């Protein structure tokens, strides 16, 4: 299970070298004869989904992601990984497909959102930060539908899925402030304690609430 904190540690420990961007076109050229095989693999589908989303082909990215997720349940053996490692990788890729489909479904219709929700009971394992992102996205759908309590319940599930990912807590604070159902400050304090770098994001998201930001700064910054 990969958490937000794990992602940060991996980025810090294994940063991409400067030559990586220059070497990428060469690598693509060398792999061109294997493009058809690579494109049909799960890893190849992950790359195609990411490119489609980046290009703005939201519906195509959604359909490919949703069609690819079930393939992770019967993955081919990866030679350089032990069986347990292969399963962990494909569990992560399942959540990656579902998280991408959830983002894309934001701008699609109710039918696409229902199709994605229908996939969730088959989740292969706890998904860490990916599961948190999916639950947070589902909470946004509930919020737009006017179900404030349902949105808060879902975003709390996102917090539970990965307590190190601060942005579910920021969304919880937004719901709390807009609905008046809860005090938003505790969620924001927990978000900054989980990841101090999110403070700038919070300040831009709540710039219409200077008193709240002042209270947050007073709670998380040393006097």
Distance CA 43, CA 76 (A): 11
Among 2-16, 63-77, 191-205, 206-220, the least confident range: 2-16
Q: Among the residues of 106-209, which ranges form H helices? A: 110-119, 128-144, 148-161, 167-179, 185-194, 199-205
Tokens of 14: 């294994």
Whole-model pTM: value is 0.74
For 163-202, the pLDDT digits (tens) are 999 999 999 999 999 999 889 999 999 999 999 999 999 9
75 pLDDT band (50/70/90 cuts)? Answer: low
Distance CA 33, CA 47 (A): 17
| pLDDT of res. 121 | 86
| pLDDT of res. 85 | 62
4 pLDDT band (50/70/90 cuts)? Answer: low
Residue 58 is given by DSSP the state H
| pLDDT of res. 28 | 44
Environment class of residue 103 by beta-carbon count within 10 Å: exposed (0-12), middle (13-18) or buried (19+)?
middle
Question: In Å, what is the CA distance from 188 to each residue of 3, 4, 5, 147, 180?
Answer: 19, 17, 18, 22, 15
- What mean pLDDT, rounded, does the chain reach? 81
138 pLDDT band (50/70/90 cuts)? Answer: very high
149 pLDDT band (50/70/90 cuts)? Answer: very high
Distance CA 144, CA 139 (A): 9
Give me the residue label for tokens 């947070």: 136
26 pLDDT band (50/70/90 cuts)? Answer: very low
Instruction: Determine contact, residues 18/180, Cβ cutoff 8 Å.
Output: no
Is pLDDT above 90 for 86? no
Which is nearest to 53 in space by CA: 98, 103, 91, 95? 103
Among 68-72, 82-86, 129-133, 164-168, the least confident range: 82-86
Distance CA 87, CA 124 (A): 9
Instruction: Determine contact, residues 42/92, Cβ cutoff 8 Å.
Output: no
182 half-sphere exposure, CB direction, 13 A CA radius: 18
| pLDDT of res. 72 | 83
Average pLDDT for residues 60-77, to the nearest whole number?
84
């Amino acid at each position: 299970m990969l958490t937000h904190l794990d992602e940060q540690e991996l980025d810090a420990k294994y940063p991409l070298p400067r030559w990586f961007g220059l070497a990428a076109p060469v690598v693509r050229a060398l792999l061109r004869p294997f493009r058809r095989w690579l494109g049909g693999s799960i890893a190849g589908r992950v790359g195609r989904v990411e490119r489609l989303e980046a290009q703005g082909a939201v519906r195509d990215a959604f359909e490919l992601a949703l069609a690819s997720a079930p393939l992770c349940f019967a993955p081919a053996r990866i030679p350089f990984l032990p069986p347990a490692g292969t399963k962990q990788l494909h569990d992560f890729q399942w959540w990656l497909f579902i998280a991408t489909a959830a983002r894309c479904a934001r701008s699609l219709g109710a039918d696409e959102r229902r199709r994605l929700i229908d996939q969730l009971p088959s989740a292969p394992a706890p998904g860490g930060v990916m599961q948190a992102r999916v639950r947070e996205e589902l909470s946004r759908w509930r919020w737009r539908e006017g179900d404030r309590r349902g949105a808060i319940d879902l975003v709390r599930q996102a917090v539970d899925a990965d307590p190190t990912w601060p942005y579910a807590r920021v969304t919880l604070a937004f719901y709390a402030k807009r609905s008046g159902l809860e005090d938003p400050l505790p969620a924001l304090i927990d978000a900054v304690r989980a990841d101090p770098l999110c403070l700038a994001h919070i300040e831009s998201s709540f710039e219409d609430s200077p008193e709240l930001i002042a209270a947050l700064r007073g709670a998380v910054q040393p006097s």
